[in-house]
Chain A
């Protein structure tokens, strides 16, 4: 408890909880609709935006937001309008984002920015302004999911039927991808570009083994994500380890335990 007397600890804890809301809710769709690799592409594209932010001296978070949303929309449109396989498109997007980031940062004059933090997360340096951005993004995500829950569920289950029934499937998918992009931006602070996928997939995958209701999967994923971030944060502080990687490893260990539990009880 004494940890909480430090402001950076309180901020870190708050950031973990705010990120859990987004990654639990959107992670459920990412896992159920099998969008894991697309989400990986989007999160790595963010690195290009972070680099651009450094180069042109604006907030790297804004750059990440710009690049993730643009790449989400680009991916969605490519998938619907061309014969290019999504798999290949993801690969290209992934490396383009990373390369742009590296080049932009290389071109930046002066001090070497905190690259490692953006790649692997640094929850201990979250400023209040980022907490406010995270909160706004959470509200946007929750609102859109509430409004389009039925549509998201339908395109996740059977896109072809949804199209045949007259739904604007392409538009709905683009909105869902954009929400993934917003979630990625929130998660970069916590676990970094490279480890975002962990938080989008592990909590929802654990929950899915035990629940067959999507709204239930969302709520439980939010709760266990919050436990993971808090636990990981505490462990990383006590053992002096990198916070992002510790949070991810806590999640992975829990995932393995959950698989064993599932095997024993079914």
Chain B
């Protein structure tokens, strides 16, 4: 087994006594490709922020690359949800990708050749180099998603964390994005959260279900019971357009 890169032990997060995450235990190993699914409001974004050290848990212990999250987060490439961005923001795609270099750049120093090379390389790897001078707000959802992915890659991460990377993109673009991530997964650990099981299940190696509590199964065979446990109601499992069926057929009642 490869080494453990992320470990959560009995992690609880509460806001004003309302539990968001309850007793999360999670272990992620190097070069895992983990998909976390769950309903909106189930704590998916919170879980990512706990791993990044942006939210301190009420209880429990988080270890990332053998250290506390705040010390290790510079090795994590974070791809937040794109819905939060101002579409009029005055920056180009290249400006945004270069922001990925700022954690490494000393304050008061300007971007150097190495930073620029890394940004170009990241844009090339997501096939967005020809859009480098486009204003970010004018890009489509899929294009903006790729730019944010490039920004995360520009940090030279050991782990990629993605929050709903396919929320506002069409089906073919979804597949492209997953292929891209699968490719990157040959070198780095990838964790993504989504409320959309669809295409994801064909690409990830492991799936966990999150709705305040984590139902972690390691393998990606999910049973109807797990899904129902996560969503708290019966859910129709649909595997549309996936290369091979990974979800069990519904049993006839």
Q: Which A residues fall within an 8 A CB radius of B?
A: 32, 147-148, 150-151, 153-154, 156-158, 160-168, 172, 208, 211-214, 216-217
**Neighbouring A residues of B90 by C-beta, 8 Å:** 32, 208, 211-214, 216-217
In the complex, the answer to whether B54 meets A165 with C-beta atoms within 8 Å is no
- Answer whether residue B135 sits at the interface, using C-beta atoms and an 8 A cutoff: yes
A150 lies within 8 A of B111 (CB): yes
Q: Contact at A166–B103, with CB atoms within 8 Å?
A: yes
Residue from A148, A166, A211, A212 within 8 A of B73 (CB atoms): A166
| B74 and A165 contacting across the interface, CB-CB below 8 Å | yes
Chain A residue nearest in CB terms to B111: A150
B residues adjacent to A (C-beta < 8 A): 49, 52-54, 73-74, 76, 78, 80, 84-85, 88-92, 95-96, 98-100, 102-105, 107-108, 110-111, 135, 137-138, 151, 155
Whether A153 pairs with B107 at a CB distance below 8 angstroms is no
CA distance A213 to B53 in the complex (A): 32
Chain B residues contacting A214 (CB-CB under 8 Å) are 90-91
- Given the complex, which residues of B lie within 8 Å of A161, measured CB to CB? 78, 80, 99, 151
Q: In the complex, what's the smallest C-beta–C-beta distance from B188 to chain A, in angstroms?
A: 16
Query: What B residues does A157 contact at CB under 8 A?
Result: 85, 89, 91, 96, 99
- Distance from A143 Cβ to chain B, minimum over Cβ atoms (Å): 11
Pull 23 A–B residue pairs with CB atoms less than 8 Å apart, ordered by A: A32-B89, A147-B108, A148-B107, A150-B99, A153-B91, A153-B99, A157-B85, A158-B84, A158-B99, A160-B54, A160-B80, A161-B151, A163-B54, A165-B99, A165-B155, A166-B74, A166-B104, A167-B103, A172-B107, A212-B135, A213-B92, A216-B90, A217-B90
B105 neighbours in A (Cβ, 8 Å) = 150
Partner of A150, one of B85, B89, B98: B98
- A164-B99 in contact given A148-B107, A208-B90, A214-B90 (Cβ < 8 Å): no
* Chain A residues whose C-beta falls within 8 Å of the C-beta of B84 in the assembled complex: 158
Q: What residues of chain B lie closer than 8 Å to A208, measured between beta carbons?
A: 88, 90
Given contacts A148-B108, A150-B110, A157-B96, contact A167 B85 (CB under 8 A): no
* Contacts beyond the supplied A164-B78, A165-B100: 13 A-B pairs with Cβ under 8 Å: A147-B108, A150-B111, A153-B95, A153-B99, A157-B85, A157-B96, A157-B99, A161-B78, A162-B103, A164-B52, A165-B73, A166-B103, A167-B102
CB-CB under 8 A from A147, the residues of chain B are 107-108
Interfacial chain B residues near A217, Cβ < 8 Å: 90
Residue of B nearest to A175 (CB): B107
Known contacts A154-B99, A157-B96, A157-B99: does B54 contact A164 (CB below 8 Å)? yes
B residues near A168, Cβ cutoff 8 Å: 107
Chain A residue at minimal CB-CB distance from B75: A166
Give the nearest-CB partner of B51 in chain A. Answer: A164
Q: Given the known A-B contacts A165-B155, A212-B90, A213-B90, are A154 and B102 also in contact in the complex, defined by CB atoms under 8 Å?
A: yes
Cα distance A164–B78 when bound, in Å?
7
Closest to B151 in A: A161
Question: Given contacts A157-B96, A212-B135, are A164 and B110 in contact (CB under 8 A)?
Answer: no
Nearest CB on B from A66, distance (A): 26
Q: Are B137 and A212 in contact (CB under 8 A)?
A: yes
Cβ B102 vs Cβ A150 within 8 A = yes
Give the distance in Å from the alpha carbon of A213 to the alpha carbon of B137 in the complex. 12
A170 to B103, CA, bound (A): 14
Give Cα distance in the complex from A160 to B84, angstroms. Answer: 11
